[in-house]
Amino acid sequence: MASIRELHHQLIQKERTAVELAEAALARMDALEPQIKSFLTVTADQALAQARRVDAQIAAGEPIGLLAGIPIGIKDNMCTQGIRTTCGSRILETFVPPYESTVTQRLQQAGAVMVGKTNMDEFAMGSSTETSAYQVTANPWDVERVPGGSSGGSAAAVAAGECVVSLGSDTGGSIRQPASLCGVVGMKPTYGLVSRYGLVAFASSLDQIGPFGRSVEDVALVLQAIAGHDPHDATSLDVEIPDYAAALKPDFKPRGKLRIGIIKETFGEGLDATVEAAVTQAVEQMQAMGAEVQVVSCPQFRYGLPTYYIIAPSEASANLARYDGVKFGYRHDDPENLLDMYVKTRSEGFGAEVKRRIMIGTYVLSAGYYDAYYLKAQKVRTLIKQDFERAFQQVDVLVSPTSPTTAFRAGEKTDDPLGMYLLDLMTIPVNLAGLPAISLPCGFDAQGLPIGLQLIGNVLREDLLLSVAHAYEQATEWHKRKPPLAV
């Protein structure tokens, strides 16, 4: 599919209708879903109804926004009124939300056309979309490999051309890592920039919703629509939202001297040599474009993984306590008593990875361990944040690989939880510090699998991040390559 801006031009020039765009997306999904399995729920009727409304506006001579008529996929942990929202879990298999999330409501107001709810790791806990209770999503570049996670369905759907853009959520890298593995652009905004109202919680102090697209501009346009204060979310930031698309420039010159910092701690042991070479080449490209490059040390970066795997499971343990079979979701049929219902409902409804994290979280929050684990982790989180603050006194943007490897084969790491957790090594510290970051394509390995470059910005500097990412994108050809299934 073409870009948002190109499709918008076709719509207002009446070269194509919104219904035709929706039908094309749905036809592509029909053709590719048996192989890709990106979607858990296809909303064909709603999509066509939304498209017809856009066409009626155009026919009446009313102006439409850039997102009007654009097919979009929504990760299945965002509440959609009247449409099943499962979080990739059996425990919510029949859950139909009675209300709309703020982000999907804002997209509806912008005229976007939702074609379906995308597959994900159960309750966003995973890095490969293999913990979904329903299906394993394939990577469009090689269907034997994973698309990353937990927003693997959203990333794969965009890469395969099943929708133009999509939404994911990022708790420790769940937008950026699948964007890297699927060769698309994915952005995690500053914590609080995008409302979490209606996002089913995993770890409330870390979760953030963000967009996927095939280009930086498409991501900027979606972010524009969903960003902004929301009184329904107590952590929502009440700040002025800049024009992200207007910030995009073809080079670095309008901003004066751009200072880029390479995070020393993200290179070394565990990093695939091909990934390291591609990221190094990307930095050299930015240097050739006029950026000033220096190496920056964030010494606490290496403590990001253990810190995250104390804080995130602790918050998950509290958030997932509500799934008890009483108020909503799955309930065991024939319990002996109330306690038996709780035990059997949760045993049957939750998958192995979710149970593992609930148990870890409950343990570290228990009496006698809270100070030793959770409190200490929060202190280290502050040290990680301070590392970033010091780094941004020296540079404007930080650079690292997004993922230490390219996409691995399905099943390769399912029996190795620690190996799976290590895939988020580069992305987790950003969530702990609440910073914005973006992943964009910067090369391919010998198997033709995409490699992602992560750019990290200071708080609320999405405009600068998008500008730098766009300038790099325009100077390279990586984003123009399409996976075999999308050609």
Q: Which residues are catalytic?
A: 75, 150, 174
Tokens of 240: 């002025």
| Contact assessment for residue 288 and residue 260, using Cβ atoms and an 8 Å cutoff | no
Number of neighbours of residue 175 by Cβ within 10 angstroms: 34
How, if at all, do strands 437-444 and 450-456 pair?
antiparallel
Number of neighbours of residue 439 by Cβ within 10 angstroms: 34
Query: How far is it, in rounded angstroms, from Cα 251 to Cα 216?
Result: 14
Q: Which residues are registered as beta bridge partners of 261?
A: 294, 398
Q: How many residues belong to the chain?
A: 487
Question: Helix or strand or coil: residue 45?
Answer: helix
| Contact assessment for residue 146 and residue 411, using Cβ atoms and an 8 Å cutoff | no
- Which residue do the tokens 């510290």 mark? 429
Query: How far is it, in rounded angstroms, from Cα 208 to Cα 177?
Result: 14
User: Which of 101, 114, 338 minimizes the C-alpha distance to 201?
Assistant: 101
What's the N-to-C CA distance of the chain in angstroms? 10
- Which residue do the tokens 């029909």 mark? 30
Query: How far is it, in rounded angstroms, from Cα 487 to Cα 481?
Result: 9
Handedness of CA 113, 220, 195, 298 (dihedral sign): positive
Q: Peptide bond before 89: cis, by omega within 30 degrees of 0?
A: no
- Which residue do the tokens 């939404």 mark? 167
Tokens of 138: 């394939």
Tokens of 397: 């943007």
User: Which of 110, 88, 67 minimizes the C-alpha distance to 169?
Assistant: 88
The backbone torsions φ and ψ at residue 203, rounded to the nearest 5 degrees and listed phi first, read: -130, 105
User: Which of 181, 185, 175, 168 minimizes the C-alpha distance to 141?
Assistant: 181
Query: What is the rounded radius of gyration, in angstroms, for the C-alpha atoms of the chain?
Result: 21
